[in-house]
Amino acid sequence: MSKGNSHDPFASLALAVNDARRMPILHPKTNNPLKSRTNGAEAYIDLISSDSDRARFQLRETLRRRMAAAQRVGRARVTPEEQEAEGVDLLVSMTTGWLLLTPDGDPIDVPCTPENARLLYDDNRFFWIKRQVDEFTADAGNFMPNSSPT
């Protein structure tokens, strides 16, 4: 018999998309986890899935803005810059915490706030981190229920 119950027969198929998971930040050259030179702690970003309620809400808000703009001007005109900004907004909405280090293992003492996450993801000098976040949040395997929580 499955783990589901009569009220939710598909419960055993559910992933923990609304629970944050820890993504180790990988060095852009070696592809190994970034580690602190002083205490060996690994750099990470805590993230929820791109299929989470929060991400879906963010996507719906983006669509609402586009639809409202289309009503005002007769049709939606989304520039590449606007589309890129919407992608950053989505990544910001999925970021819940972090421990940042330089590639040399020095600490970066910047609190995890939406404003700081936006600065990180919106600057193309840090594309290597943005790319890792994008791939991690889209990978369903990272949100299996038995994954260790943050």
Name the more confident of 35 and 148: 35
Total domain count, the chain: 1
- From the list 97, 99, 131, 92, the residue with the least C-alpha distance to 114 is 92
Res 75: pLDDT: 65
Claim: this prediction has a pTM higher than 0.95: no
Asked if residue 13 belongs to a domain, the reply is no
Q: Answer whether residue 147 shows pLDDT above 70.
A: no
* In a domain? residue 35: no
Residue 150 covered by a domain: no
CA distance 101 to 68: 41
pLDDT digits (tens, 9 = 90+) for 30-57: 999 999 999 999 999 999 999 999 999 9
The string of pLDDT tens digits covering residues 62-102 is 888 888 877 777 666 778 898 899 999 999 999 999 999 99
Asked whether 132 and 140 are in contact (CB, 8 A), the reply is no
Domain range for 105:
22-29+41-143
**Closest to 120 in 3D by CA, of 25, 2, 21:** 25
How far apart CA 100 and CA 98 sit, in angstroms, is 6
> Per the domain annotation, does 3 fall within a domain?
no
- Please give the average per-residue pLDDT across 122-129, as a whole number: 96
In a domain, 8, yes or no: no
Strand order in the sheet with 21-24: 21-24, 44-47, 95-101, 107-108
pLDDT > 70: what percent of the chain?
90
pLDDT for residue 65? 85
